[in-house]
């Protein structure tokens, strides 16, 4: 085997570029194929006229515990570009906004003292003491929270959030998933100066400086084997590689590599469940969440969006986190939700989806009028959030596929951690290590 390998990576998102960083530093020839016009994938952003900073299509932030992304930023010399302010996160309860963080603010919630005490003890256990996530994945979050948080706190706070996130599958999600979210969360939230797209462009610049080749507007059509080596069908013709890494969704992996479908590995991939995400982003002329809240959790009582007081899960006023001066003075608000890929939210026109969401804004701020809106955008992604059931770790396919030289690294494999840029870095670099060790 030659010392230098020719490696193809499908997707120039965070995972793909993180793998490329390590592979190029090891002296290999790396080609990344990205279907979009910009690098970034789900972490990518957009910029309107008059804005200095990028805005994320789907809201993102880092935690102070995100060591993988912080390590990578240090390696590419960009640590000084990270900001960690402490924004206000809140919960809508009984028609009011309550600050709701894992600290003393919990005691301001309209719950009994017993419920608050139990929730505080259980929260502290999950945050600081629990470490055996394998035992937690044997039970659902629904059953664990009922038992240890208590019915009052669970029914009033946690169950509505789980329903809002996973709809009718809320009682199937295992407790290890919820533990991981609580474990990694910090009060200070991080962002890159200029927005996440600025970070993605900096990472792309770093890997190209090391010799990587990024091909934009270059969707891969298939992965096939020829003479024991993987071949990618890309714009301009077929290209043969020594190794291939796909960072695609499970469904796209099976479409690109149909030879995987009949294998036990392919059946594992096909069995992974996930839901999609969407965001309506509004540029407003004045503030909506005037109490300074950045993130407002909105409760759901039913999997039927029409039966809930709010038709989406989270209301995020980004400019209560970052100065609106970075965005030409616009107040920027996300209306975000998670729904299955076959949900009507993916079928509605952009205008109809916005019309469905707008009445909820008047519930939060009665002064809101549609003429506050300067401009709007709608972003939708059918693959955005894995749904991990009980004993999920036994269902996750390894990074190495049965096809010689072909690897797969996706958000469906970062479990028990949740999807996000930090764990995209981790799994991309882990895939690179496996590819290198196979030499």
Cβ-based neighbours of 276, under 8 Å, separated by 6 or more: 338, 339, 340, 341, 343, 346, 380, 381, 382, 383, 384, 385
Show which of 184, 206, 226 is a domain's final residue: 184
Q: What's residue 106's pLDDT?
A: 78
* Residues 281, 353 share a domain: yes
Contact 12, 41 (CB under 8 A): yes
Same domain, 283 and 364: yes
Residues 286 and 368 both lie in one domain: yes
- The residues facing 296 across adjacent strands are 90, 315
DSSP string, 100-140: --SSGGGGGSSS-HHHHHHHHHHHHIIIII---HHHHTTSB
Residues 284 and 426 both lie in one domain: no
Please report whether residue 413 resides in a domain.
Answer: yes
The 10s digit of each residue's pLDDT in 175-184 is 999 999 999 9
The answer to whether residues 400 and 350 belong to one domain is no
Q: What are the tens digits of pLDDT across the range 306-350?
A: 999 999 999 999 999 999 999 999 999 999 999 999 999 999 999
Tell me the pLDDT tens digit for each residue of 203-216: 999 999 999 999 99
Same domain, 73 and 216: yes
Omega prior to 96 cis, within 30 of 0: no
CATH number at residue 168: 1.10.405
- Report the pLDDT averaged over residues 287-299: 97
Is 425 within 8 Å of 70 (Cβ atoms)? no
Please answer whether residues 218 and 235 qualify as being in contact, where contact means their C-beta atoms are separated by less than 8 angstroms.
yes
Domain range spanning residue 344? Answer: 274-386
Say if 171 falls within a structural domain: yes
Give me the residue label for tokens 């992304």. Answer: 69
Structure confidence at residue 235 as a pLDDT band (50, 70, 90): very high
Note the pLDDT of residue 39.
Answer: 98
pLDDT band at 101 (very low <50, low <70, confident <90, very high): confident
Considering the domain boundaries, does residue 88 fall inside one?
no
Say yes or no: 353 and 412 in one domain: no
- Mean pLDDT score of the chain, rounded to an integer? 96
Q: Is residue 97 part of a domain?
A: no
Looking at the predicted structure, is the pLDDT value of residue 196 above 80? yes
Domain termination residue (choose one: 367, 386, 405): 386
In a domain, 174, yes or no: yes
- 107 pLDDT band, cuts 50/70/90, is confident
Whether 351 has a pLDDT exceeding 50, the answer reads yes
The verdict on 146 and 51 lying in the same domain is: no
Tens-digit pLDDT profile for residues 122-155:
999 999 999 999 999 999 999 999 999 999 999 9
Nearest alpha-carbon partner for 313 in 293, 335, 294: 335
Work out the percent of the chain whose per-residue pLDDT is above 70.
99
pLDDT over 60 (residue 16): yes
20: domain CATH number? 3.50.50.60
Residue 332, domain CATH: 3.90.660.20
In a domain, 160, yes or no: yes
pLDDT category at 1 given cuts 50, 70, 90 is: very low
CA–CA dist 22, 245 (Å, integer): 13
Segment 7-31 shows an average pLDDT of 98
CA distance readout (Å), 271 to 132, 402, 415 = 25, 17, 15
Please identify, among 154, 184, 214, the residue that sits at the C-terminal boundary of a domain: 184
Domain shared by 278 and 320, yes or no: yes
- Residue 277 clears pLDDT 90, i.e. is over it: yes
Task: Residue 180: count other Cβ atoms within 10 Å of its Cβ.
Answer: 21
Q: How far is CA 149 from the centre of its chain?
A: 26
pLDDT at 104: 73
pLDDT band of 273, cuts 50, 70, 90: very high
Domain count, the chain: 3
206 lies in some domain = yes
Q: What is the mean pLDDT of residues 383-389?
A: 96
Give yes or no: residues 360 and 404 share one domain: no
Mean pLDDT of 381-392: 97
Q: Is the pLDDT of residue 76 over 60?
A: yes
The rounded radius of gyration (Å) of the Cα atoms in the chain is: 22
Is residue 74 very low, low, confident or very high in pLDDT (cuts 50, 70, 90)? very high
The percent of residues in the chain predicted with pLDDT above 90, rounded, is: 96
Interval 29-38 mean pLDDT: 98
The three-point CA angle 193-194-199 to 5° equals 80
Helices within 185-263 (DSSP H only): 196-209, 250-256
Q: Are residues 283 and 352 in the same domain?
A: yes
Whether 3 shows a pLDDT value over 90: the answer reads: no
Q: In this structure, is residue 299 part of a structural domain? A: yes
- Same domain for 253 and 319, yes or no, is no
Tell me which DSSP letter residue 40 carries: B
Per-residue pLDDT band for 439 (boundaries 50, 70, 90) equals confident
């Amino acid at each position: 085997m030659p010392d230098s390998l020719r490696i193809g990576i499908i997707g120039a998102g965070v995972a793909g570029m993180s793998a490329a960083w390590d592979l190029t530093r090891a002296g290999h020839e790396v080609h990344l194929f990205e279907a979009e016009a910009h690098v970034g994938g789900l972490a990518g952003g957009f910029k309107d006229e008059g804005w200095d900073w990028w805005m994320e299509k789907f809201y993102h932030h880092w935690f102070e515990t995100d060591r993988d992304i912080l390590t990578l930023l240090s390696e590419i010399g960009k640590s000084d570009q990270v900001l960690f302010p402490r924004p206000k996160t809140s919960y809508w309860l009984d028609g009011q906004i309550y600050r709701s963080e894992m600290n003393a603010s919990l005691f301001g919630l309209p719950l009994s003292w017993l419920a608050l005490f139990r929730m505080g003890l259980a929260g502290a256990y999950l945050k600081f003491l629990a470490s055996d996530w394998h035992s937690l994945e044997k039970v659902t979050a629904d059953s664990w929270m009922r038992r240890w948080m208590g019915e009052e706190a669970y029914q009033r706070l946690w169950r509505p959030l789980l329903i809002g996130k996973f709809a009718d599958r809320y009682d199937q999600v295992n407790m290890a998933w919820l533990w991981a979210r609580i474990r990694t969360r910090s009060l200070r939230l991080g962002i890159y100066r200029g927005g996440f797209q600025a970070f993605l462009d900096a990472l792309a610049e770093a890997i190209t400086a090391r010799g990587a080749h990024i091909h934009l507007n270059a969707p891969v059509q298939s992965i096939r084997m020829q003479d024991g080596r993987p071949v990618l069908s890309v714009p301009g013709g077929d290209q043969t590689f020594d190794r291939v890494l796909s960072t695609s969704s499970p469904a796209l992996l099976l479409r690109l590599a149909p030879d995987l479908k009949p294998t036990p590995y392919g059946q594992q991939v096909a069995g992974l469940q996930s839901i999609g995400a969407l965001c309506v982003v509004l540029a407003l002329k004045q503030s909506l969440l005037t109490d300074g809240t950045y993130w407002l959790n909105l409760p759901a009582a039913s999997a039927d969006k029409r039966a809930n007081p709010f038709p989406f899960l989270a209301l995020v006023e980004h400019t209560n986190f970052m100065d609106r001066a970075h965005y030409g003075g616009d107040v920027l608000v996300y209306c975000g939700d998670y729904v299955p890929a076959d949900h009507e939210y993916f079928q509605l026109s952009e205008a109809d989806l916005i019309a469905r969401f707008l009445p909820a804004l008047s519930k939060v701020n009665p002064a809101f009028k549609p003429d506050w809106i300067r401009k709007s955008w709608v972003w939708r992604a059918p693959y955005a959030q894995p749904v991990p059931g009980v004993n999920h770790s036994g269902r996750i396919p390894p990074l190495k596929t049965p096809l010689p030289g072909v690897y797969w690294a996706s958000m469906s494999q970062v479990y028990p951690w949740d999807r996000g840029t930090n764990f995209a870095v981790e799994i991309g670099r882990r895939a690179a290590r496996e590819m290198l060790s196979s030499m």
